[in-house]
């Protein structure tokens, strides 16, 4: 199974995933990023700072950028939408 890495990029810093996770494919990696966004949101500041999860493959090429959207829900820590872009080769 391929290994994917999930780096969280904020406007002021990047949290690098040095371990990664083995998943069956890009669809599994996408849904892992969705779950990660909910978990990470509890540990990120409530100041509406924009952030994304960059999904990289084993060669560390970006395969997808997941943009969680938590507008207006800072206190509840729940997402109300998302935007995803995928790498095109």
Domain enclosing residue 62, as ranges: 3-86
| pTM, rounded to two decimals | 0.75
Is 42 a residue whose pLDDT tops 70?
Answer: yes
* CB atoms near residue 1 (< 10 Å): 9
Higher-pLDDT residue of 60 and 40 is 60
Q: Average pLDDT, stretch 77-85? A: 45
Q: Average pLDDT, stretch 3-15? A: 92
Is 75 a residue whose pLDDT tops 60?
Answer: no
pLDDT at residue number 59: 96
CA distance 78 to 63: 25
Average pLDDT, whole number, for the chain? 81
Q: Percent of the chain having pLDDT more than 90?
A: 53
Give me the number of domains the chain comprises. Answer: 1
pLDDT at residue number 71: 60
């Amino acid at each position: 199974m391929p290994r994917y890495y999930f780096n969280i990029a904020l406007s002021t810093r990047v949290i690098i995933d040095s371990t990664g996770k083995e998943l069956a494919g890009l669809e599994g990696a996408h849904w892992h990023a969705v779950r990660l966004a909910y978990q990470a949101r509890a540990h990120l500041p409530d100041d509406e700072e924009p952030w994304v999860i960059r999904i990289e493959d084993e060669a560390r090429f970006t395969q997808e950028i997941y943009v969680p959207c938590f507008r207006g829900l800072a206190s509840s820590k729940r997402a109300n939408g998302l935007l995803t872009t995928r790498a095109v080769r």
